[in-house]
Amino acid sequence: MKTVQEWVDLYNSDEFKNRYLYQGDDLGARCSIGLTTIKLWSPVADAVTVNFYKDGEPTTRPYWTSPMRQGNQGVWEWNIHESLNGTYYDFTVTIDGVSQRTGDPYAKATGINGLRSMVLDLHDTTPADWGNDKPPIPESEQIIDEIHVKEFSWHPAGGWPADVRGKYKALTVDSTYINNDGIHPTGLAFLKQMGITHVQLMPIYDYGTVDETGDDNQFNWGYDPVNYNVPDGSYATDAHHGEVRIRELKEAIQAIHRQGLGVIMDVVYNHTWNLDNPLQKTMPYYFYRTWPDGNLSNGSGCGNDIASERPMVEKYITDSVMYWAREYHIDGFRFDLMGLLTVDLMNRIRNKLDEKYGAGVKLVYGEPWAADKTAVGETIKLADKGNFADLSDHVGMFCDDTRDTIKGSAGDTRATGFVNGADGVEGKLLSCVTGWCHDGSAIHNPAQIINYVSAHDNQTLWDKLTSTTLDVDLRRRQYRLAAAIYMTCQGRLFMLSGESFCRTKGGHTNSHDAPIEINQLDWSKIIDEQDMVDYYRGLIALRKQLPGLYDKSPTAHTRIGNTWSQPGVVGYMVDNTDDNSSSPWEYLCIVYNRNQDGCNVELGEGDWEVLATGHDSWLWQNPQVVQGHYEVEPVNWVMLGQRHEESH
């Protein structure tokens, strides 16, 4: 058997790259009436046999085996003039004299735990009226809520029927209420009521750490891919029949669209669960980065890194994204550890989506960092913050600088930010306001910035502030101030589901495999935190009326002017006009005060309306008019607006 370095030398040779780049879009299994074809890319294989099974259970034996024929560009082919729809299969692949059983890396359907692949006519998984399923009508702003299928619908207070809790099916239940009270909506209806425009689904592809035949109480976030193009069966009502998970996920997406919400898929193309998978078994070390000593690269912190710079890996990932967009009507993609993927790959994905669906229509953004150094050559540009200027203007990034400036480092539970006492961050906060855009910046427009203060990683916002602020009343004022700041910064808005009702995980900093009881969304807290819920809802409703904040053009930052700061206080003016005069306020004045003392703000001439404060985000509906100056209370903020007819 070749050494790791011998495999790498082979793959890096020009001869291999030129001879074995396959451009077709037909890898995997396809079937229709009267025809089934299976194709596998494995140019290093000596022989490949396809094995067929009646079911997807890992213990059954094949009822039929058949050799595959080697074609051009390293593609092995097999076909028969009949439909094998519903049949399961895997391969016996012989490489360097060693034979292994493996699933199909290009599978679109699988059996239990993704071990057996499945021949499936995808038309059989189409829900009723799927052809009329449409993404939501674009709004002035995109506000993204991150949910996990199981977390979202597991708690009994959420009102879902017991047989669909934690499943794709839960997302199809149109009306759910806290303890079925008929008064307080939960689930998608709650998100719609809040003004959310998109849900970001944490991993829904087939992943390895939850046994699909095991107890329903198992839990994992799912950042451990096995089959990239197959929905995970643990969220299906029946994981034993491969078509069920596909149909039920499509029904869930259809239901989300009916609520007027877009669907963003959290994708993890930077690493796999382990190397016991079809990618490695069919192409040893082709899909993985290695160091010269043969050890696997581990920039992901998860044991391995995907080699996205190799031509057929780049094609694999791009084709996968396009498949999810086409087959499942996905509206956007969030890339985990995007800083491990190449700039070329991200731009290729962006261009392909734009060509198919229109420029910027499908959202694309990710984490512009990695967990550690990865094994790539110096000429390879990775999609991290250092190379952000080379990325398409329609590729966005999570802004950890804004997150940490507002509330303190996510990696240090005791670290503070502006709202909870850090000194000397006022200048950074003014950069947050413009989405870090300025002349000469690598950030070309605010559309590239995802503003947030909490996500599945690290502590929730409530838990973070609990770590730094013991006084509960003060913590609540800091919480409201933090929300106000990121919702008044230019860029896109993102929040962890449940943030609006002070979600807690008991201080956990990494709950990826913690019990579901810790991770579940406790919907009953809506009642306890109704004031906070209303506050978030008002901020979102106001944000959507302010072109000075939701402007995504390259010149948006020039709307921000007359900036000033002093210790613990930041203020600025916003040009809020647009061609349609869509907002009643021509100018905005925004001031953040984290100090324990009030702050007197001198205003320009004319009448100013108080639109929102830390006490009430709905003041804009019946605003108080002030002149000359305004006193911002301790640990509070204010947004004032001046109408078009007033002089500035």
Q: Which of 429, 426, 423, 473 is nearest to 453 (CA)?
A: 429
Angle at alpha carbon of residue 461, lines to 456 and 467, rounded to 5°: 115
d(CA 192, CA 4): 51
Q: Which of 466, 541, 477 is nearest to 505 (CA)?
A: 466
Angle at alpha carbon of residue 39, lines to 34 and 44, rounded to 5°: 160
d(CA 120, CA 635): 59
Question: Which residues have a Cβ under 8 Å from the Cβ of 378 and sit 6 or more positions away?
Answer: none
Q: Which of 587, 378, 590 is nearest to 484 (CA)?
A: 590
What's phi and psi for 350, nearest 5 deg?
-60, -45
Helix 242-258 to helix 311-328 angle, to the nearest 10 degrees?
60
DSSP state, residue 382: B
What's phi and psi for 542, nearest 5 deg?
-70, -45
Structure token pair of residue 418: 């502006």
Q: Which of 538, 406, 421 is nearest to 482 (CA)?
A: 406
Give 639's strand partners.
590, 612
What's phi and psi for 527, nearest 5 deg?
-65, -45
Active site residue 82: no
Contact 506/140 with Cβ under 8 angstroms?
no
Catalytic residue among 104, 133, 319, 336: 336
Q: Tell me the three state secondary structure of residue 33.
A: coil
Give the neighbor-by-neighbor strand order of the sheet with 75-80.
28-32, 35-41, 75-80, 69-70
> H helices within 54-175, ranges in order?
149-154
Question: Which residues have a Cβ under 8 Å from the Cβ of 343 and sit 6 or more positions away?
Answer: 381, 382, 383, 387, 390, 391
Residue with token string 């860029």:
491
Backbone Cα Rg of the chain: 26
Q: Which of 51, 33, 44 is nearest to 76 (CA)?
A: 44
d(CA 119, CA 346): 30
Q: Specify the amino acid at residue 242.
A: G
Tally the C-alpha atoms within 13 A of residue 48's C-alpha that lie toward its C-beta.
Answer: 27
Buried b (16+ CB within 10 A) or exposed e, 177-209: bbeeeeebbbbbbbbeebbbbbbbbbbbbbbbb
Catalytic residue among 121, 367, 384, 404: 367
DSSP state, residue 583: S
Structure token pair of residue 396: 């966005």
DSSP string, 329-379: ---EEEETTGGGSBHHHHHHHHHHHHHHH-TTTSEEEE----SS-----TT
Distance of CA 239 to the CA centre of its chain: 24
d(CA 415, CA 629): 34
Q: Which of 393, 328, 329, 326 is nearest to 365 (CA)?
A: 393
**Cα separations in angstroms, 631 against 542, 591, 626:** 21, 10, 10
Active site residue 423: no
> H helices within 36-100, ranges in order?
none
Active site residues: 336, 367
